[in-house]
Amino acid sequence: MRVLGRVNLIGEHIDYCDLAVLPMAIQRDLRVDFRPRGDDLVRLANTNAAHGPVEFRLSSPIEPAPQGHWSNYVRAAAEHGARELGLTAGMDAVIDGNIPEAAGLSSSSALLVGSMLALLAANSRPLGRLELALRCAQAERFVGTHSGGMDQAACLLAQEGAALRVEFAPLAARPIPLPADWRFVIADSLRVADKSGSLRESYNARRGASEQALARLLADEGRSDAAGGWRGLFARHSPEEVLRRAERVLEGELLRRARHVIRESARVESATSAMLAADAATFGALMDASQASLREDCEVSTAELDLLCGIARRHGALGARLTGAGLGGSIVALVLEARAETVLEALAENYFAERLPARELRHHLMLARPSQGAS
Ligand code: GLA
């Protein structure tokens, strides 16, 4: 099985509010080579020497390894597969890949999706991609991070040459072709963003804050039911009106988190239109506004991510922002083809030269190639 990493172009920390996002799959991949077994043993090896071999059985309760352990994403797939789908056949599998780890490019969801695909194949149980994306998102809760469904959808549903507009509840995905001269640069800040490890609590706290903010906004309308969640609010009121209400009923951290959700969601709508109209200047400005909001209201940027965005912009990027959960990980910047080399060189010289041996540069700095999801 081959599963790709993803970069989110815009729509950060709102997938768990069931609001649309715009990621795309990139050429970096994770591969699971496997052989079905006649028993229920799952035996794993990893070509990354830092990740030692692991084995567990599908039939006994599958327990998580210590927080942050690489095998937890495979265990997550196996636990869901055994409990919900009745999978019984194990596998011998080798994991190999070149998605930078804990860099905001979804290496962990790729591992879960690849493991799920391998286990399903080992058990001769085909599943449709939409159902699979939903199941993989549910399965990921095993690691203790209450993620949304963006990464799994991007891994499974992305199409070559296009970004993917992903909507939730119900899950739906629509390719938005990239204009011919748009390029997205990805630069890894080299600060680890391990969603299932050290960042788990801060990630879950942001989701919790958005839920509390929503409950207060609904209570203000006199509603005691979920009333369609954030999407229901936006169906009843304009984004400006939702923001006015938030400013009236919320304060402090909850207000900042809600303001991010409200404005980021509006930005995804404008960015989708800008991409369809090949309006790079508008798309770039929306990425910049997203970064400001992620820094000030969602509070998930870091000095390194801000620095990378600044370098990219100063050398001709039309916009730049962190991508993924933040608090480390990577940035993504929009550049027109003619400027791409200049921006890559500027990032190499001004950020990576003093932080990384030259031979490792290509692993952490790249032009994204929008690619077909899992195969
Ligand atoms: C992580 C999660 C996603 C999403 C992003 C932030 O990548 O896995 O579901 O919430 O963070 O946008």
- For ligand 1, pick from 138, 140, 150 the residue to mutate: most ligand atoms within 8 Å of CB: 150
Average pLDDT over residues 278-299: 98
pLDDT digit string, tens, across residues 103-115: 999 999 999 999 9
pLDDT band at 310 (very low <50, low <70, confident <90, very high): very high
Q: Are the C-beta atoms of 264 and 148 separated by less than 8 Å?
A: no
Query: How far does the centroid of ligand 1 lie from the alpha carbon of residue 260, in Å?
Result: 14
Question: Which residue has the least CA distance to atom 11 on ligand 1?
Answer: 325
Query: How far does the centroid of ligand 1 lie from the alpha carbon of residue 284, in Å?
Result: 21
- Atom of ligand 1 minimally distant from the CA of 109: 8
> What domains are there in the chain, each with its CATH number?
2-176 (3.30.230.10)
Q: Where are the beta strands (DSSP E) in the chain?
A: 2-10, 22-36, 41-46, 54-57, 91-97, 162-167, 172-177, 182-188, 319-323, 330-336, 365-367
Helix (H) / strand (E) element for 153: namely helix 150-157
Q: Highest mean pLDDT range out of 190-204, 219-233, 289-303?
A: 289-303
pLDDT digit string, tens, across residues 337-371: 999 999 999 999 999 999 999 999 999 999 999 99
13 lines ligand 1 (CB under 6 A): yes
Instruction: Please give the pLDDT value at position 92.
Output: 98
Q: Are the C-beta atoms of 179 and 275 separated by less than 8 Å?
A: yes
pLDDT band at 374 (very low <50, low <70, confident <90, very high): very high
Instruction: List the catalytic residue out of 15, 18, 29, 151.
Output: 151
Whether 220 is a known active-site residue: answer no
Check whether 198 has a pLDDT greater than 80: no
Q: Are the C-beta atoms of 17 and 214 separated by less than 8 Å?
A: yes
Check whether 56 has a pLDDT greater than 90: yes
Average pLDDT over residues 312-317: 98
151 lines ligand 1 (CB under 6 A): yes
- For ligand 1, pick from 15, 16, 301 the residue to mutate: most ligand atoms within 8 Å of CB: 15
Q: How far apart are CA 200 and CA 146, in angstroms?
A: 8
150 lines ligand 1 (CB under 6 A): yes
Instruction: Please give the pLDDT value at position 225.
Output: 83
When the pLDDT of each residue in the chain is averaged and rounded to a whole number, the result is: 96
16 lines ligand 1 (CB under 6 A): yes
Instruction: Please give the pLDDT value at position 224.
Output: 78
- For ligand 1, pick from 6, 7, 13, 17 the residue to mutate: most ligand atoms within 8 Å of CB: 13
Helix (H) / strand (E) element for 303: namely helix 303-314
- Atom of ligand 1 minimally distant from the CA of 150: 9
Check whether 227 has a pLDDT greater than 90: no
